[in-house]
Amino acid sequence: MLTKLSELIEVAKTKTKRRVVVAAAADEPVLLALKAAIELDIIVPVLVGNIAEIEKIAAHIKLNLHGIQLIEESNPNKAAIKAVEQIRLGNADILMKGLVSSGPFLKAILDKENGLRHSDTLSHFALFESPFYHKLIGLSDAALNVEPEFGEKVAILNNGVEAFHKLGLALPKVAVIGAVETVNIKMQPSTDAALLTMMNRRNQISGCIVDGPLALDNAVSLEAAHHKGIDSPVAGDVDLILTSDIYSANILYKSLNFLGGATSAALIMGAKVPVVLTSRSDTDRSKLMSIALAAAME
């Protein structure tokens, strides 16, 4: 059981050093995060982008480029395609977004002929260290799927479970959350949650324990669950919170970080390799921990 994000660094150090290819790498925050990861000896970068700009930023932040492969491509969209190609050629193990828009970056990943499709659905997976919870807790999907249909919810759940498996947790506990902890046919998220739970009980969704619908308090607090008469193997010990839409997930994500004192790491799951996609609003530590999260995976 991981309790702190810093433990991801220690896990990553036990693995073969990962090669991280960055699309449009001429971006100071990204290069700063990579520099920190290099100093921790957990990754080797491959930088695709405008080499003159990369060298200029590297000199400014005192990043030694000696021994680092640089691939010239000034067009950010084409840099994303070239970065994906490095994964396909076996020259890198992790893909990272630099100074390129998310649309073209994801398009390069999802390209049917030359992309990195693994699951039909890509999804955002965030891992939080909260001062008010006893272990790291996952959340999906706060960034990609807006109002996922039921089949997409199954894929998002499976992507999140796969992330935990890659971190060594064999049977993560998943809470499918909503506004209430009872099934209400007028509330579609509650009926979807019940279906996901039943699919899990019948081994149509495996490798995890799923329960829902659960309200957030029931998922993270055993005491709250007891007060409401809820008997659940997930209550108070959840590993992965699955929300019904991007609105609730994004609000929860930012509430944890900006009001709840949490620190996060995040990846895109569903591709053939972990994909690091950080936000400008993410802290330097969050960016570093996102790289460490990818490097810690099997």
- In a shared domain, residues 162 and 246: yes
- Is the pLDDT reported for residue 218 higher than 90? yes
- For residues 42 and 9, the answer to whether their CB atoms sit within 8 Å is yes
Rounded to 10 deg, the angle between the 76-88 and 102-110 helix axes is 30
CA-wise closest residue to 181 among 141, 227, 137, 135? 227
The CATH code of the domain that includes 69 is: 3.40.50.10950
Cβ count within 10 A of residue 22: 30
- Structural domain range at position 190: 123-258
What count of other Cβ atoms lies within 10 Å of the Cβ of residue 79? 28
133 and 239 housed in the same domain: yes
Look at residue 264 and tell me if it is in a domain: no
Residue 196 located in a structural domain: yes
For 228-287, the pLDDT digits (tens) are 999 999 999 999 999 999 999 999 999 999 999 999 999 999 999 999 998 777 888 899
pLDDT of residue 284: 85
Using alpha carbons, select from 169, 123, 130 the residue that is nearest to residue 267.
123
Shared domain check, 113 and 136: no
Look at residue 266 and tell me if it is in a domain: no
Distance CA 1, CA 8 (A): 11
> How is residue 236 written in tokens?
């108070």
* Residue 122 banded pLDDT, cuts 50, 70, 90: very high
| The predicted structure's pLDDT at residue 280 | 73
pLDDT above 90 (res 1) = no
Strand, helix or coil for residue 69:
strand
In a domain, residue 26? The reply is yes
Tell whether 263 is covered by a domain: no
In 3D space, the residue among 146, 209, 127, 143 whose CA is nearest the CA of residue 176 turns out to be 209
Instruction: Count structural domains, the chain.
Output: 2
Do 160 and 38 belong to one domain?
Answer: no
Express each pLDDT in 138-190 by its tens digit: 999 999 999 999 999 999 999 999 999 999 999 999 999 999 899 999 999 99
Percent of the chain with pLDDT over 70: 100
Please indicate, yes or no, whether residues 55 and 149 belong to a single structural domain of this protein.
no
Residue 89 belongs to some domain of the structure: yes
* Residues β-bridged to residue 211: 175
Paired with 241 in beta bridges are 139, 175
